[in-house]
Structure 1
């Protein structure tokens, strides 16, 4: 099995540190959110930002797009948005007597989907193929999307007026879902001072290129995960399928994506191997949005994040391996 070189690790950690600094300059006081965002980027996953309006969801998505020198697509989801508005349409050219495909905004390295749950379920479902397979099919013809391909979508809580719940199949396509939350007093004061005269996003510059990110993604996948670590991860994910507080547990796709995200987190921390701390740090962002609470748990005031946190605490952590194995 290939191993990650020290030079490759240093390059990844340096780039991740620079990206983190830029994202933190526009989203103060949220290091965990920024850390998860970078891990999803380097694991080539998709990120769902869920919270009330005005806490910085779209700002974070736009800031991430600014840090990568690649193509960016922006979609403002509305109830009248059609699937073709995302994927693209065939236009008939009368002079040439043929159809020409006009790509939609999903043909980009980073796709920002703003308020994704304001569109109808039919339009939301148009993203399924592109998020899972990196391609779209229009009128029987399949088109490959550029690499890397990352969807950063924002959504408001379902209880808010004019929103539709995302289908379970689509929520499962997102590697992680994070809640930005309100900043503390100090972070909000810092935000006021930074935005008093200018928008901090305007000062952001590209840290790296899309081609370099694609190379990082390939490197991250070679980060070592021991058999014991994989068994620990599987035990954690499978426990969601038998817990009485949940009526729907995490899918096998969740296991794959949790491992990829943990490898990315390990690489950003300068390690060529995954440790249980990496899995634990990402368990809630990667698993909580995929599970459904049982009625009695919901009635008792439990949350999916709380159930996952309890499962992490109950799952036995494997003994550390000798350093020579790594």
Structure 2
């Protein structure tokens, strides 16, 4: 009996500590859940549930009768001439504007990394478009690229003829310039921060080994910039779809064919309450975006694995 009492006294503190630890863990889980709950509810309400509704709309003939048609909406939209034009223009714009935004902003970051005079003023100049409201941007572009605008006046004085920029194939060039003007500064700052984080001792070793600037850039800097390149490319891709606001304000619902994008197509379907076609187009665009971003992640993992490892 005496031995059993001694064992109980010896085990009692351990059991009490275990109970206290369990209670503390439970309280921590409850408090963590309470902090996460508002964000979880927000994501479910404004992202997950609406996307599920979009999937439902894409599988019915219309939201009122709600007759299940499975993939008929997708077959119909893939045969739609306006949809094909919008897809071709959207991918053409993204294929031109996104690489230019990434490459030019990286070049600007490398140039401004050197000890140039008025370096801070250059940074301010390239960041200033981020502070300009969309309405002001549209006004500037109308002044520049209107049929009677400043660019055409310059062309006439140089012996050329007027160009209807927004109602011709030149419209795509105007939109690409607008996109670059808006996004180069932000991308440049991201690349400058990434370049500043590269270990200086590695660059010093490369200089001691007589590596050329090009060798240093491609074999060292690009490796350390891989994650920033991925982020900037994804953000530029997303921003290329947001250019619809400016184009819509410049040209309205039905712009010239070369700048009629997926966002115009979706906006027009929304105005005509064609939710099933709109939903099918949104899902197809989402799937394509997922594939593109997945490829970018695989490429970043391949090129940046030796640095991260």
| More helix per residue | 2
Q: Give the number of the structure whose alpha-carbon radius of gyration is greater.
A: 2
| More strand per residue | 1
Specify which structure has the bigger relative contact order, considering alpha-carbon pairs within 8 angstroms and separated by 6 or more residues. 2
Whether these two folds match at TM > 0.5 is no
Q: What TM-score, normalized to structure 2?
A: 0.27
